[in-house]
């Protein structure tokens, strides 16, 4: 499984949690702790979505290997 797929799977898992009946999302009157749980999960979804978008821009769209670190040499010119 490549990095794109791993990020997409994480995103899908978190999105499933929000629709699963998990108490913080199902509560008719969420407590402050439940609100924090929901905020953490929805924030994670947002950030993973953004990470996946930028990953695709940098690697998937240009078919660049995300596991091959670019290297270069700095030479002093005198």
Q: How many residues are present in the chain?
A: 78
CB 12 within 8 A of CB 48: no
| Number of domains the chain contains | 1
Spatial separation of the C-alpha atoms in residues 45 and 15, rounded to whole Å: 7
pLDDT in the model for residue 68: 86
In a domain, 67, yes or no: no
pLDDT tens over the chain, length 78 residues: 899 999 999 999 999 999 999 999 999 999 999 999 999 999 999 999 999 999 999 998 898 888 888 777 888 888
In a domain, 15, yes or no: yes
In a domain, 71, yes or no: no
The C-alpha torsion from 32 through 33 and 36 to 40, rounded to 10°, is -170
CB 43 within 8 A of CB 18: no
In a domain, 65, yes or no: no
Domain that holds residue 16: 3-60
């Amino acid at each position: 499984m490549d990095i794109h797929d791993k990020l997409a799977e994480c995103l899908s898992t978190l999105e499933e949690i929000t629709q699963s009946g998990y108490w913080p999302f199902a509560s008719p009157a969420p407590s402050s702790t439940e609100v924090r749980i929901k905020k953490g999960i929805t924030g994670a979804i947002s950030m993973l979505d953004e990470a996946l978008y930028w990953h695709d821009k940098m690697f998937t769209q240009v078919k660049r290997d995300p596991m091959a670190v670019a290297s270069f040499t700095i030479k002093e010119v005198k």
